[in-house]
Homo-oligomer: A and B are copies of this chain.
Amino acid sequence: MAAAIEIELASYCASVSSRARAASQLLAGLSGDIKNRWLIESARQIEQASTQIAAANAVDLANAPQYGLTDAEIDRLKLTPDRILQIASGLREIASLPDPVGEVIEGSTRPNGLQISKIRVPLGVVFFIYESRPNVTADAAGIAVKSGNAIILRGGKEASHSSQAIVEIMQSAAVDCGVPVDAVQLVNTTDREAVGQFLKLSQWIDLVIPRGGESLIRRVVAEATMPVLKHYDGNCHIFVDRNADVEMSIRVIENAKCQRMGVCNALESLVVHADLADRFLPLLAKKLASHSIEIRGDEEVQRLIPTAIAATESDWSREYLGPILSICVVNSLDAAIEHINKYSSRHTDAIMTTDLAAARRFVTLVDSAAVVVNASTRFNDGGQLGLGAEIGISTDKFHARGPCGLRELTTYKYVIYGDGHIRN
């Protein structure tokens, strides 16, 4: 019986993936006009179906207590009429972005007359694993198809009815607009084994993007037979250099730590130059106390901030996602760079300084996806950096680093035109 269910699941996942592959081959030949028409039509139909979407969402909300969702999670799950309008306008925004497919990245005519172009093309099929916010369903589908890819959506069970309602509308708009209906598919089983099955199907799936807790992402990386676009966590640093503007630094640290604590680009660890520590840390401590932030520091920090508790070695690597900040004092810029390159999750690290040479050295030697000078770490975000739409953030160095939008879901091919050229 268990074996029969397993075979059924494997065959379901293979069917979804091979249909996504077939859809992706059709998408590769589709004009930007058709993809944009689909995005705009999806937006229109989502607005029109606002009542049905809200009804589906009500089922998810009614089920929420049985999944043990927190109040904050229930709030994120909830689709008000206004939020449904936002989903639609998100799709219209994606339609308004430039089409990455077909972009001539570079090209040349060789001395023998052979004409070479490097042309941007879709990756193919994306398998996207995410959690409970239903607006992500529409966003991810829009970004994937706009960049010419078919997408297989594996959302959280908590939002399954809401996501199903949205995907059905986008599929119906696909039929209306000449987009293959299998361009967007929602996995209709909540069986945890389904993820493992999909991760085996590298012949049909080109990329997997897991979004969620670190344990989910580690499982996906361990099992995937295709590339994974991901970040595990965001242990983001700010280094306050000896010549930093104190008032500016406190303002930026307050923003980076306190504006939104539960996100990957929030500040988690502060590094302070010894020359400035005496003057700076007591002032900072006062500001952070007003936000009830717990400080975990090294000996020097504990000396300067009496309320600070002792940091352990593991604190330097931790992503708190809450009202805790680790702080250490260093004797030089290079010691700060070394500390950050050792403990950072290579997501976002910043320096506060008025010294141009220090800024240039920090920017060159800190090996992170985003390196920031005199601004909040919270700016490492697709929208803030001008990508227009974001499907995830990568802390890997391979393929794409930092926020990933339309272009990051593409690859390229060499296109070579000749007149019967042969090689000598």
Residues of A participating in the B interface, judged by any CB pair closer than 8 Å: 25, 28-29, 108, 110, 114, 116, 121, 123-124, 206-207, 227, 245, 248, 251-252, 254-256, 259, 341, 359, 361, 363-365, 367-376, 378-380, 384-386, 396-399, 401-403, 411-423
Contact = CB atoms under 8 A, between A and B. Distances in A.
Given A384-B110, A399-B398, A401-B412, A25 B418 contact: no
Given A373-B417, A398-B398, A401-B412, A422 B251 contact: yes
Given A397-B124, A398-B227, A416 B114 contact: no
Nearest to A108: B386
B384 A414 contact: no
B116 A385 contact: yes
A241 to B, nearest CB: 14
Nearest to A362: B415
B402 A413 contact: yes
22 contacts: A28-B367, A114-B375, A124-B397, A227-B227, A259-B423, A367-B413, A369-B413, A371-B414, A372-B415, A372-B417, A372-B418, A375-B419, A376-B421, A378-B422, A379-B418, A379-B421, A380-B414, A385-B414, A398-B398, A399-B399, A401-B413, A402-B414
A206 to B, nearest CB: 6
Residue among A227, A398, A416 with the highest chain B CB neighbour number at 10 A: A416
B414 A207 contact: no
A365 B414 contact: no
A379 B116 CA distance: 10
Contacts of A418: 372-376, 379
Contact of A110 (B367, B386, B399, B419): B386
Contacts of A114: 375, 379, 384
Nearest to A414: B370
Contact of A248 (B399, B413, B420): B420
A207 B398 CA distance: 8
Nearest to A101: B364
Nearest to A24: B367
B375 A417 contact: yes
Contacts of A379: 114, 416, 418, 421, 423
A419 B374 contact: yes
Given A207-B398, A414-B385, A420 B245 contact: yes
Nearest to A422: B255
A401 B397 contact: no
A378 to B, nearest CB: 4
Contacts of A422: 251-252, 254-256, 259, 375-376, 378
B364 A28 contact: yes
Contacts of A403: 414
Contacts of A411: 397-398, 401
Nearest to A245: B420
A374 B417 contact: yes
A261 to B, nearest CB: 13
A373 B419 CA distance: 8
Nearest to A380: B414
Contacts of A368: 413
A359 B419 CA distance: 12
Nearest to A381: B423
B371 A416 contact: yes
